[in-house]
Structure 1
Amino acid sequence: MSSQPQAAPAPLGVGILGAGPVTQAIHLPSLARLGNILEARHIMDVDPAVAEAVAGRVGANFSTSMEELLADPAVDIVAICSPHQFHAAQVIAACHAGKKAVLCEKPFAMTGQEAAGISAVSAETGVPIIVGAMHTFDPGWLAAEEAWGDLPEQVHTVRSSIVLPPNPRFEDFATEIVGRVPMPGRDSTDPEAIKAMLTGGVMGLAIHDLPLVRRFTPDFAAVEVLHAEIVRPFGYVISLRAGNVTIELRAAMNGTWEPSWVFEAIGNDAALKIDFTPSYVHAGSATARIRKAGQATVLGPFSHNGYEGEWRKLAELARGTGQPPSAETLIHDLEFALSIAEAAAGRVDMEVNA
C-alpha cells in the first residue's frame, strides 16, 4: 500500500504597509527568493502612484489605507515599513485584525510604554511579532551564538563599527526606486540639530547592532554615555559603559568605495568578530570568527542573510511552529536603544553648558 506524497502548503500572503525604499530594495527581493513559502499580495502607501507602481512589480493589490490592507483576506502576514511614529498603532491594528504574524521595522515603538502596550495586545490576540533587526536572524550570528561558549560572561569591550556610502547607492543596485523622498538638510552646528542627528543615528543605524550588544551587557539598564559626537555628513562616535562593559559605537556614511560593517565582542580569553554585509545588500550571511587560546573558528558565510532569515522565521510562526522572540527581549532591546539615544543627546547639552 503506497502513500501519496503530501503537497506543499500554499505560500502565505504578505501585506506591506509603506512602499518606500526598504520595501522596494529589501523586502520584495527577499520575498521573491522565498516564493515557495511567501508571496507579496497587497502593498499600501499613502502615495497612490507609489503604491500602484510597487504593487505592479509583484502582481499584488494596492491601496492607500491600512484598513483596506488589513481587511484583505489574502493577507496572512503584515509587514510594517511606515515612518516610526506609526509603528505602534499599526502593529496593534494588525494584531486585532487577526493576522497570523507581524513584522515591524525598527524601532517597533517610540517609548517603553508603547512597547509594553504592543506586548499586551500580542499576548491577548496570540499574534506573534518580529522586529526587523536583521542581524539577529543572520545565520552567521546564530552560528556564533551556538559556538561561543562562555564568551558573554567574560566580555569587557564591545564595538560596532559601520562605514557605508549613503543608502541610495545600495538601493539603486537592488532595484529602481520610485517615490524616493530626499533627506532634509540640517544645520549641523546647532545643538538641537546635533542632538537630533545623534538620536537618529542611534535609532536608525546603531539599532541594527544594539540587540547584539545587549547580549553581552547583562547590566544594560545602567547606561552611562562618556562621549558623543556627530560625524559629518552623517555618522556618530559614541562611547559608553553598561555595567562593567565598555561599548564603542561608530558610524560614518560618506563617499566610501569599500563598505564595512564589523561587530566585535572581546573577553579576557576569547573574542568574537563578525563581518556583516551592508544593509540593502543581498549577498549571503555574515562571517563570524571566534578566537580562543590562539585557535580561530570561522563560521560562514551561509547561503542567505538576515533579511531572508527574518522572513523564514515569520513563515514558521504564521504556520504555528517555532518560538517568537519574547516580549521581554523586544521591550528591553528598545529600552536599551532609547536610553543610549537619550544619554547621547544629553552629552550635547553638557558640552554646550560646560
Structure 2
Amino acid sequence: MNRIGVGIIGAGAATQAIHLPALAALGDRLQPVHIADPDQGVGEQVAARVRARWSADAQAVIDDQAVDIVAICSPDWVHADQVEAACRAGKKAVLCEKPLAKTEADATRIAEASTNSGVPVIVGTMHRYDPAFVAARSAWQGFGSRRVFVRSAIYLPDNNEMTSLATNQAGSTITPGAGPAPDETPEATAEALRNSVLGLAIHNLPLIRTLIPGPVDVLEARLMRPYGYSITIGDGLRIARLAALMPGRWDPSWTLEAWDDRQHLEVRFPPSYVLAGSSAAALTTQNGSRSWRFRESGYETQWRHVADVAAGQASPDVSVHEAVADLRYAIAIADGAARTVLERTS
C-alpha cells in the first residue's frame, strides 16, 4: 500500500510530541514528507528526525505535490489563511489544530473554502475521537436530553514537563502564564480569560456541547493566575462547571464528569503531549457500572480517521459545519466570560 504523504505547518511542541509519534504509530499508512517552520534550527532538526523536507514557508508545504494531507499546527490567527490555501490546492484532507479560528468570520471562511473545494477539513479536537469517551457516550441513554450537571477539571504542570515525557524537544515550549507579570487592568484580565477558554477549555467544550447543546449563559467567570479559569455556564436545566489551572507542582489531572437523575459519567483523560492510550471512562447507572479503556489514544484514532477520509474510505465524523458550531459555542463562552469580568469591575 502506498503511504499517504503528510505535510505539517509548524514544528512546535504539538508536532513533536503529539503528531509525529501518532503518525509513526500509523506508519504503514501515513508518511511525513514536508515540514514548514520559520525557525530554521527547529524546523530542520524536526524534519530530519522523520526524513522529511524542511521549508521556512508554509506555502511550500501546500504547493508540494507529494503532500496529500496538510496538518496545520501554526498559531491560530493564521489558520484561516492556511486552510483556505490548502483547500485551493485541492489536498485530500486538512487537519487543523484547535481552535479552528479566533473569530466566527474566519471560521465561516474555512467552512466556505472546504465546501466550495470539496476538501475535508477536520479539527484536531482529539478528545472527540478518544475511543473510551466515544464508547461511554454511546452507552449513555438519552445523552444530553435531560437535566444534567457537568464538571470539567484540568490541572497540569509546566508544558515542558509534559513534552519531555514524550520527546527530546527541539526548541522550547512557552508555558501559558510564564514571562513578565501580567497587566492587571480589567481589560487585560478579560482578554486573558477569553484566551484561556480558546486555548485550554476548547479541548473539552465540544464534548460539553453534546451534553449542554446551548445556547448557554455564563453565570460566573474568573481568571485563575498564572493561567486558568473558573467558569460556570448553564441553560436553566443544565449546568457545567469548568475549572483549570497551570502550571502547578502536582501530577496532571484531566477529568470530565456528568450526572443526570439516572447516570454518572466519569472520564479521566491522559495529559496532552503524551501518547498514553485512551482515557479511562466509566458509566454508572441504576443497573450497574461499565468501564472502557483502549490502547489507542484519541490522537491516533483521529489520525487513522484522517487517513480514511483522505483515502476516500470515510466521510468526516465531524463535518466542518459542526466544527464551526463547536467554535461558535466556545467563542460565546469566551466572550461571555470576558464580559462578566468587565461587568464585575465596572
TM over 0.5: yes
| Alpha-carbon separation, structure 1, partners of 2:17 and 2:30 | 17
Using the size of structure 1 for normalisation, the TM-score is: 0.93
Partner in structure 1 of residue 345 of structure 2: 352
Gap runs ≥5 in structure 1: 1-8
Residue 302 of structure 1 aligns to a residue in which SS? coil
- Name the CA distance, whole Å, in 1 between partners of 2:283 and 2:249: 28
Identical-pair percentage: 45
CA–CA distance in 1 between the matches of 2:47 and 2:320? 32
Once residues 132 and 289 of structure 2 are traced to their aligned partners in structure 1, the CA distance between those partners, rounded to angstroms, is 15
CA shift, 1:37, in A, is 0.8
Following superposition of structure 1 onto structure 2, how do residues 273-288 of structure 1 map, counting pairs within 5 Å?
273-288=266-281
Equivalent residue number for residue 220 of structure 2: 227
Structure 2 residue 209 is the aligned partner of structure 1 residue 214: yes
Shift of 1:279: 0.6
Q: How does 1:244-263 map to 2 (within 5 A)?
A: 244-263=237-256
CA separation in 2, counterparts of 1:224 and 1:186? Answer: 31
8 Å CA contact 1:151–1:270 kept in 2: the answer is no
1:125 aligned to which of 117, 132, 135: 117
- Once the two structures are superposed, what CA deviation does each residue of 1:127-150 show, in whole Å capped at 9, x if it has no partner? 111100100011011111221121
Deviations 1:138-193 (A, max 9, x none): 10111112211213212421111111102111111111222226444342533233
Cα distance, 1:186–1:334 mapped onto 2, change above 3 Å? farther
Partner of residue 114, structure 1? 106
- Show the counterpart of 1:79: 71
Q: 1:265 aligns with which of 240, 243, 258?
A: 258
Q: SS at the partner of 2:83?
A: helix
Unpaired segments of 5 or more residues in structure 2? none
Check the 8 A contact 1:241/1:247 in 2, yes or no.
Answer: yes
Find the aligned partners of 2:308 and 2:143 in 1 and give their Cα distance.
30
Whole-angstrom distance in 2 between the partners of 1:49 and 1:155: 53
Size of the aligned set, in residue pairs, is 342
- Alignment equivalent of 1:24, drawn from 13, 16, 20: 16
Q: Deviations over 1:59-86 (max 9, x none)?
A: 0001011221112111110000000100
**Aligned-partner residue type, residue 329 of structure 1:** E
CA contact 2:69–2:94 (8 Å) conserved in 1: yes
Q: Deviations over 1:319-350 (max 9, x none)?
A: 00112122331111000100111010111111
TM-score, normalised via structure 2 length: 0.95
Q: Secondary structure at the match of 2:98?
A: coil
Deviations 1:243-264 (A, max 9, x none): 5211110011133332111101
* Matched-pair contact (CA < 8 Å) for 1:271–1:292: yes
Q: CA deviation at 1:242?
A: 3.0
Q: Secondary structure at the residue paired with 2:219?
A: strand
- Report if the CA contact (8 A) 2:37-2:57 is conserved: yes
Aligned AA (2:332): S
CA contact 1:217–1:243 (8 Å) conserved in 2:
no
Which of the two has higher C-alpha Rg? 1
Question: Helix, strand or coil for the counterpart of 2:145?
Answer: helix
Q: Measure the CA separation in 2 of the matches of 1:122 and 1:249.
A: 32
Match of 1:39 among 11, 31, 34: 31
From 283, 289, 305, give the equivalent of 1:296: 289
Partner of 1:343: 336
TM-superposed CA distance for 1:235, in Å, is 1.3
| Matches of 1:41 and 1:59, distance apart in 2 | 7
Partner residue in 2 for 1:65 = 57
RMSD, aligned CA: 1.4
Q: Matched residues in 2 for 1:159 and 1:297: separation?
A: 20
Distance in 1 of aligned mates of 2:252 and 2:320: 33
Deviation at 1:294, TM superposition (A): 5.3
In 1, distance between residues paired with 2:60 and 2:311? 24
Deviations 1:101-124 (A, max 9, x none): 000001112222221221121111
- One-letter code aligned to 2:264: A
8 A Cα contact 1:155 1:216, kept in partner = no
Distance across 2 between alignment mates of 1:181 and 1:151: 38
Q: Which residue of 2 aligns with 1:189?
A: 184
**8 Å Cα contact 1:84/1:109 also seen in 2:** yes
Does the 8 Å contact 1:105/1:132 carry over to 2? yes
Q: Which residue does 1:164 correspond to in 2?
A: 156
